């Protein structure tokens, strides 16, 4: 371990101090790869300033995790584990972040958080064959952590903790008038919880770089209002207003940035390029954004054509949009059957056949079954508030919080796009097949 330290000047958090183990972790090649993985995927095609990376975000989460640990007064051992988890939680994000998550999970059978656990433990290759001479002598991250007295098992559990099997309103247990978020413990909730370090960084960071004004979050107030009660993170009642602000920011950022129609179309094109290739992308979690684009261009054929158009912002056009507000309950239920990858591919093929074109010319995007069917999934839409010795859901104290649970985060329920010259045929086919 080096005894040196480094101060990183972050535009959001000011000075972030990296010392000892954490400086060594930040310098690992697995972390440095994240400098070339954009935080918002292809969001910069719509928001030109959105060129920030997963590396910056990871440092931000590390920093906020440390501040939360200090505010809660937890032990150094626990603080070190949670800070390490904050830094490493996105270490296995694939190129362009969440853009290719679905394909990635299908290829590997697990998501980027479970992949992070496996990589830290040394169960996944940490470098490509061409980098064997550079990194072949390095041991797994777990060895580095254990050598410094940080439990790698604890770090991995904090990153990829089994989610609560209950959803919706049942995600809060009700006992003797008390309400608790049921997933995980207080350490896990620092990384994955209703008011966690992950979202407090990405909401503010993404708003900053996109120029969208919805990401104002009073992180200082939220952190100062935190406490541990019965092994759960709760906020003092004085933090209700700040928690409302975070919830509003999250809801609006999803609507205006994360599910922006053009951003989603660009993401669909990248997925189409990957699907049109026969590249062996089992090691995609080792690639950077430029690596993937170069591989797809070198592949030639339809994959190359799509990605070249994408990189030059020659995007697919909206062929059909079904808005949530315009759909009947029956239509929403009909669309819900296409939320799985396989079913959506079958729908794309059916539309392509009727339109007389190739499946690569048809991109169907549907947010989620829960969004279509208006299922309340509390997850990160509720906060435990303590008032005296009584813990209650924030929805019992805030009409704003309660209203946000019923707000449609997604304006649209289905988005069909295609190349400009195929748009009319694809639109006709999609409307005929879907009855919209």
Query: pLDDT of 151-187, one tens digit each?
Result: 999 999 999 865 543 333 333 444 444 444 444 588 9
pLDDT digits (tens, 9 = 90+) for 262-283: 999 999 999 999 999 988 777 8
Give me the pLDDT at residue 391, please: 87
DSSP state string for 36-84: GSBTTTTGGGTSTT---BHHHHHHHHHHHHHHHHHHHT--HHHHHHHHH
Q: Give which of 291, 358, 274 is closest to 127, Cα–Cα.
A: 291
Q: For the chain, what are the domain ranges?
A: 1-160, 316-367+410-436
Q: Give which of 375, 310, 372, 364 is closest to 341, Cα–Cα.
A: 364
- 9-30 mean pLDDT: 95
Tokens for 194, please give them.
């209703």
Q: How confident is the model at residue 413 (pLDDT cuts 50, 70, 90)?
A: confident
- 104-122 mean pLDDT: 83
Q: Where are the beta strands (DSSP E) in 262-374?
A: 317-323, 363-365
Give me the pLDDT at residue 359, please: 96
pLDDT digits (tens, 9 = 90+) for 339-361: 888 999 999 999 999 999 999 99
Give me the pLDDT at residue 266, please: 97
Is the distance from CB of 264 to CB of 415 less than 8 angstroms? Answer: yes
Q: Over pLDDT 70: what percentage of the chain?
A: 89
Whether this prediction's pTM lies above 0.85 is answered by: yes
- Alpha-carbon distance of 11 to 13, in angstroms, equals 6
Provide the 8-state DSSP code for 397: T
Q: Where are the beta strands (DSSP E) in 264-360?
A: 317-323
- pLDDT for 9 beyond 90: yes
Is the distance from CB of 98 to CB of 264 less than 8 angstroms? Answer: no
- Alpha-carbon distance of 66 to 86, in angstroms, equals 9
Is the distance from CB of 412 to CB of 321 less than 8 angstroms? Answer: yes
Q: Give which of 218, 213, 212 is closest to 241, Cα–Cα.
A: 218
Provide the 8-state DSSP code for 255: I
**The architecture CATH gives domain 1-160:** Orthogonal Bundle (1.10)
Secondary structure tally for the chain: helices H, strands E: 21, 11
pLDDT digits (tens, 9 = 90+) for 126-156: 888 888 888 878 889 999 999 999 999 999 9
Q: How far apart are the first and last CA of the chain?
A: 62
Q: How far is CA 298 from the centre of its chain?
A: 29
Give me the pLDDT at residue 224, please: 96
Q: How confident is the model at residue 370 (pLDDT cuts 50, 70, 90)?
A: low
Tokens for 10, please give them.
């972050």
């Amino acid at each position: 371990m080096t005894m040196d330290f480094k101060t990183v000047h972050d535009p959001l958090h000011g000075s972030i101090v990296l010392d000892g183990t954490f400086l060594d972790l930040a310098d690992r090649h697995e972390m440095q790869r994240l400098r070339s993985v954009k935080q918002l995927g292809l969001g910069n095609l719509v928001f030109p300033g959105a060129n920030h990376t997963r590396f910056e975000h990871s440092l931000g989460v590390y920093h906020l995790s440390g501040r939360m640990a200090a505010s809660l007064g937890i032990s150094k051992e626990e603080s070190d584990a949670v800070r390490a988890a904050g830094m490493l939680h996105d270490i296995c994000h694939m190129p362009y972040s969440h853009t290719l998550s679905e394909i990635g999970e299908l290829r590997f059978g697990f998501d980027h958080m479970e992949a992070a656990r496996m990589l830290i433990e040394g169960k996944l290759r940490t470098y490509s064959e061409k980098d064997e001479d550079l990194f072949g002598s390095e041991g797994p991250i777990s060895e580095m952590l254990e050598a410094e007295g940080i439990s790698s098992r604890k770090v991995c559990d904090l990153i990829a903790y089994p989610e609560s099997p209950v959803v919706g309103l049942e995600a809060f247990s009700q006992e003797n008038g008390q309400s608790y978020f049921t997933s995980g413990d207080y350490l896990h909730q620092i990384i994955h919880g209703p008011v966690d370090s992950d979202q407090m960084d990405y909401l503010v960071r993404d708003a900053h770089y996109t120029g969208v004004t919805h990401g104002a979050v009073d992180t200082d107030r939220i952190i100062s209002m935190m406490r541990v009660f019965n092994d759960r993170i709760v906020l003092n009642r004085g933090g209700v207003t700040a928690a409302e602000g975070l919830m509003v920011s999250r809801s609006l950022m999803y609507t205006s940035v994360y599910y922006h129609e053009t951003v989603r179309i660009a993401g669909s094109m990248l997925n189409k390029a990957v699907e049109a290739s026969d590249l062996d992308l089992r090691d995609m979690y080792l690639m950077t954004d430029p690596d993937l684009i170069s591989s797809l261009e070198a592949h030639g054929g339809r994959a190359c054509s799509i990605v070249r158009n994408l990189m030059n912002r020659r995007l697919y056009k909206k062929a059909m949009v079904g808005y949530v507000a315009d759909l009947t309950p029956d239509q929403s239920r009909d669309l819900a059957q296409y939320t799985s990858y396989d079913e959506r591919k079958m729908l794309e093929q059916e539309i392509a056949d009727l339109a007389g074109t190739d499946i690569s010319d048809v991109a169907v995007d549907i947010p989620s079954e829960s969004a279509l069917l208006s299922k309340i999934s509390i997850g990160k839409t509720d906060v435990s508030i303590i008032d005296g010795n009584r813990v209650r859901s924030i929805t019992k104290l805030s009409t704003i919080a309660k209203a946000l649970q019923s707000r449609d985060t997604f304006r649209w329920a289905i988005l069909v796009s295609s190349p400009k010259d195929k748009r009319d045929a694809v639109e006709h086919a999609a409307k005929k097949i879907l009855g919209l």
